[in-house]
């Protein structure tokens, strides 16, 4: 029997997997909740909201609230809480978090990373938010989208600033953790279209990720998994160009079977189980198995990992994630 890591590689390389990759199993590492390497002195700066708790301000100065029954915290964008109110003056208000921590600051995190069985799973570092998200977290989505059109020079400068920060962060992750895989969040679309046109995405976002993902690949990272639980089919060629190995979060509106047919062998797809459909209050094992079955039947054994679309193991409603995993195991018994 292949290890979880080996089975994933066989799947995304069009080889001989002996079962379906079951959601996030190949990335389950050190964090008890999310399953990936999430702790480090850089990301620990600032405060984080708890579900149903008070809003908190992170190290970038962004205030986040986390209402109950939603999967994550979201930035607060009334006029009082926006960090960037005038994009032409971003340098006056945006200050990147510190990245130059001494070795002793990293020491408490190392035992858990060193305990990972890298033959069984990928030592996976979790990075969020991404470049596009960082833009609208600081100023709001409406302002961000307008500024791409109205103040492109300032937006280029801001994205360059984010990129340099991410590269400094990446250098420290590589130095201390030597991750095999990077799981990187950056939502690039709604359920029906990308937020930016492909041409604008190519101009503003692609250069940043070429540098960031290129750095990781040049420094021992084997897999880049990019999360965008959205429509992003029109951006897949750019995903390939910047070095993404797995597009995680691909919801059914992407027409995942067609993407596999067109791009399989260049990139793989992880998702096709829309959280809005499966992760509901009235879920049942039967309804979830039906969704898993139809997805696997359409997508096949290669270049596809059946998975809830949200960006990490778990679900809003208790039991949903486990029910999906059980249905995937059942399909493995039938198909392999």
Residue 261, both tokens = 């047919």
Residue 37 phi, psi dihedral angles, 5° rounding: -75, 105
pLDDT tens for each residue of 58-81: 999 999 999 887 777 889 999 999
Please tell me what DSSP assigns to residue 252.
G
If you average pLDDT over residues 244-264, what whole number do you get? 98
Tell me the domain boundaries of the chain.
Answer: 4-335
Q: pLDDT digits over 192-235, tens only?
A: 999 999 999 999 999 999 999 999 999 999 999 999 999 999 99
The pLDDT value given to residue 35: 56
Task: For residues 84 and 92, give the distance between their C-alpha atoms in angstroms, rounded to a whole number.
Answer: 9
Least confident of 52-56, 223-227, 283-287, 306-310: 52-56
Fold topology of 4-335:
TIM Barrel (3.20.20)
Does the pLDDT of residue 33 top 60, yes or no?
A: no
| Contacts by 34-37, CB closer than 8 A, 24 or more apart | 34/126, 34/312, 34/313, 34/314, 35/124, 35/312, 35/313, 36/124, 36/125, 36/126, 36/183, 36/312, 37/112, 37/113, 37/123, 37/124, 37/125, 37/126, 37/177, 37/179
Mean pLDDT within 170-174: 97
The whole-number average pLDDT for the span 83-88 is 98
Q: What distance in Å separates the CA atoms of residue 133 and residue 128, rounded to the nearest whole number?
A: 9
How far is residue 182's CA from residue 184's CA, in Å, rounded to a whole number? 6
Region 264-278: mean pLDDT is 97
pTM exceeds 0.85, yes or no: yes
Nearby residues of 45 by Cβ (< 8 Å), 6 or more positions away: 58, 59, 97, 98
Query: Which DSSP string corresponds to 155-170?
Result: HHHHHHHHHHHHHHHH
């Amino acid at each position: 029997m292949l290890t979880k890591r080996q089975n994933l590689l066989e799947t995304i390389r069009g080889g001989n997997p002996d079962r379906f990759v079951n959601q996030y199993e190949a990335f389950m590492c050190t964090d008890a909740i999310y399953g990936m390497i999430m702790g480090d002195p850089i990301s620990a700066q600032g405060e984080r909201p708890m579900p149903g708790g008070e809003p908190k301000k992170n190290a970038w100065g962004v205030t986040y609230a986390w209402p109950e029954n939603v999967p994550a915290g979201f930035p607060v964008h009334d006029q009082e809480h926006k960090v960037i109110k005038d994009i032409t003056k971003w340098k006056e208000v945006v200050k990147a978090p510190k990245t130059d921590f001494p070795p002793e600051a990293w020491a408490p995190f190392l035992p858990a990373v060193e305990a990972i069985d890298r033959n069984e799973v990928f030592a996976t570092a979790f990075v969020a938010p991404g470049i596009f998200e960082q833009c609208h977290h600081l100023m709001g989505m409406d302002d961000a989208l307008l500024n791409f059109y109205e103040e492109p020079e300032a937006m280029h400068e801001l994205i360059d600033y984010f990129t340099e920060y991410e590269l400094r962060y990446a250098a420290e992750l590589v130095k201390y953790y030597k991750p095999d895989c990077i799981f990187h969040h950056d939502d690039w679309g709604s359920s029906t279209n990308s937020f930016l046109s492909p041409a604008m995405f190519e101009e503003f976002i692609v250069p940043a990720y070429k540098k960031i993902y290129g750095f990781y690949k040049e420094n021992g990272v084997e897999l880049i998994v990019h999360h965008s639980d959205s429509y992003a089919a029109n951006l897949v060629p750019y995903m390939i160009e910047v070095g993404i190995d797995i597009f995680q979060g691909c919801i059914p509106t992407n027409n995942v079977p067609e993407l596999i047919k067109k791009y399989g062998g260049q990139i793989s797809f992880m998702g096709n189980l829309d959280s809005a459909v499966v992760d509901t209050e009235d879920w049942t094992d039967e309804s979830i198995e039906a969704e898993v079955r139809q997805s696997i039947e359409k997508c096949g054994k290669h270049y596809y990992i059946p998975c809830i679309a949200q960006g990490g193991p778990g679900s809003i409603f208790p039991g949903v994630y486990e029910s999906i995993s059980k249905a995937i195991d059942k399909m493995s018994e039938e198909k392999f």
